[in-house]
Structure 1
């Protein structure tokens, strides 16, 4: 069995989004309400990205991102730019809210807070990539900020393949007459995803991270109970999880030197709110052994994520980045306690693979549990708090893996 890839991932990682400067947030809203032109946003955005790249470098973080400053929310605009996909919430008269799974954790939270989700994008025609990538400009600008030798370190957050499919009821991610079943829909989304990855790879991207709350929802007892009660479902939750893993694998076909990771969390909404709870135990064996990614960025900052026992399922050729530092509040964790948690996790990895702790540690890294600003407004902590969190992640890594990036 081959060894797990390294550099990336790096011993000290972060998930992608960072707190946006107030000037950037205000300017983007001004563009949205047409009180400012899109051209006015560019210099504000680029200035903020330059500054946040320097922050990452100063904190010793090697997986460089743009803080997701080019986006309003973490999933970006991949689906919205595909041929055949339409933001039906932009239509005059809106849309039928009955298309949603009311028990989907994010939908449940949205409905409770403001009655409608942020974006409602469905397939109203056959899905096809236009060969214009909405992610490519992010990568190209980042390339201008670091030496060519470090381009391979640049990490882009990629949209979850099931992001829109999961929130809608059975066969409601596409309108009647477009697709007969999920298999047809998945096939076209996968083809579009492969085209996106090819464009990014040809431009030099070698480090991708899929941000995916959906798979973690299969750990939620409340979601699973809602699934059982939904008489429209034509497959069990376990069958849907299997279908998603197969679908993801089709989407994520890529060259061997393209490092791909997936971040699973339980939600990271306004004011640091989460959407669901539940340990990884229920999905760990399938997640680690059947999903074709090299690295898992896992939330481990609170008891709602469960214990480290599921890490016994981690294969020897894969990594886990332990999100033991919370990004949801300013309170700074105790470094000694976090180091001990990393060692405890390593012991479970070692037990599962018949290794010593020192060997198991080679497949682990550390990070905040999630991004600091999955949505524009960000979590309830300040810029200096975020900086201290990133510095803490670096210090934990330096203590556990001295001298390793």
Structure 2
């Protein structure tokens, strides 16, 4: 097959990689010794860590390199924090939240009936001030300093879904009444600020963005669907919400440059200790997801039976790609390469069954990856750096043997 000139690439990974000890130590010093980032040496440590992790990826043959999410303490970074109009909640009452939402289930402190301070609402009208962008642009520039300029277009930046701080809240609680009167009004401004952020990043050289979206995977969960149906405060169906999120993405991406590659990772969770949050086959959302959502690539988790089979891939349109996450970032054991190759072929066969293509034709729109990031939060994961490298090499080897050298 011909070499790829643009993402997605045959061997991909989902963004986060295990943080090195000096980076964790600097952050711990900031927390425990009340030091400024500069006093703790964090900027220099981050730059060195990003340089090293980029070199690791390139040495393993990865083109869509990331910064390992090393400038973040958790996978969603600071995207929302930098927007004007947001309000961070501290010890918010549990009554504000959907107690059946998988994130809320995992985070709520049962004895206090409050949520920790990692939640944001719109306290006023949302807007984007380029002069105050401190998160994603900073990350992009760090990666550009570690990658030859000729390869800047391959750099992959991960961003949290525009719907991140909406789904967990009860009806109408993602914003104050003074800020917005409806979800539709709120979503309109969310799309506007995300579009401004993406355009700013594009102008700085970004050509490859991956939205991390656990929420879309939750629509596969019968537990979440049952919780939604039983919630007396909901005025719409769970499928109406799914439609609203697709529309939010499409509004966000409309009018952006055509050579900005966009993808969505339906994350099922890789929390501390490798905990997952969602299970359920893609069947219930596949047709609408693949055909109506205007992204180029779908990054899907297929490491366990929790995700169901490949049959839903029959709905994948001919102009879209899928990255099948078949290698686990939660288990130390290295998967059998030949068995993984069989799974890639099975995914291609499922696509071909719906598109009328041959397996060989369908394979042109398939890539392979681990199912999730290796360190979506700073610490607490079962794999070590050697095991991480072995998993990444396995993905690269699978890709090389199926599609040839990159």
Contact 1:346 1:360 in 2 (8 A): yes
1:47 to partner: Cα distance:
1.2
What is the DSSP-based 3-state SS (H/G/I as helix, E as strand, rest coil) of the residue aligned with 1:144? helix
Name stretches of at least 5 consecutive residues in structure 2 with no aligned partner.
none
* CA distance, structure 1, for counterparts of residue 229 and residue 137 of structure 2: 40
Identify the residue that residue 182 of structure 2 maps to in structure 1.
181
Q: Does 1:104 align with 2:101?
A: yes
Judged with a 3 Å threshold, the aligned counterparts in structure 2 of structure 1 residues 371 and 184 are, in CA distance, closer, same or farther, namely same
Contact 1:321 1:365 in 2 (8 A): yes
Name stretches of at least 5 consecutive residues in structure 1 with no aligned partner.
none
* CA distance, structure 2, for counterparts of residue 113 and residue 77 of structure 1: 27
Moved over 4 A (4+): 112-115
Identify the residue that residue 264 of structure 2 maps to in structure 1.
262
Identify the residue that residue 363 of structure 2 maps to in structure 1.
361
**Counterparts of residues 234-383 of structure 1 (less than 5 Å):** 234-253=235-254, 254-383=256-385
Contact 1:127 1:189 in 2 (8 A): yes
Identify the residue that residue 42 of structure 2 maps to in structure 1.
41
1:200 to partner: Cα distance:
0.2
* CA distance, structure 1, for counterparts of residue 153 and residue 264 of structure 2: 17
Contact 2:92 2:117 in 1 (8 A): no
Judged with a 3 Å threshold, the aligned counterparts in structure 2 of structure 1 residues 34 and 120 are, in CA distance, closer, same or farther, namely farther
Q: Does 1:13 align with 2:15?
A: no
Judged with a 3 Å threshold, the aligned counterparts in structure 2 of structure 1 residues 315 and 78 are, in CA distance, closer, same or farther, namely same
Alpha-carbon RMSD: 1.4
1:130-158 CA-partner distances (Å, limit 9, x unpaired): 21322001111111111111000000001
* CA distance, structure 2, for counterparts of residue 194 and residue 116 of structure 1: 29
* CA distance, structure 2, for counterparts of residue 98 and residue 21 of structure 1: 38
1:348 to partner: Cα distance:
0.5
1:34 to partner: Cα distance:
4.5
Judged with a 3 Å threshold, the aligned counterparts in structure 2 of structure 1 residues 172 and 6 are, in CA distance, closer, same or farther, namely farther
Count the aligned residue pairs. 396
What is the DSSP-based 3-state SS (H/G/I as helix, E as strand, rest coil) of the residue aligned with 2:108? helix
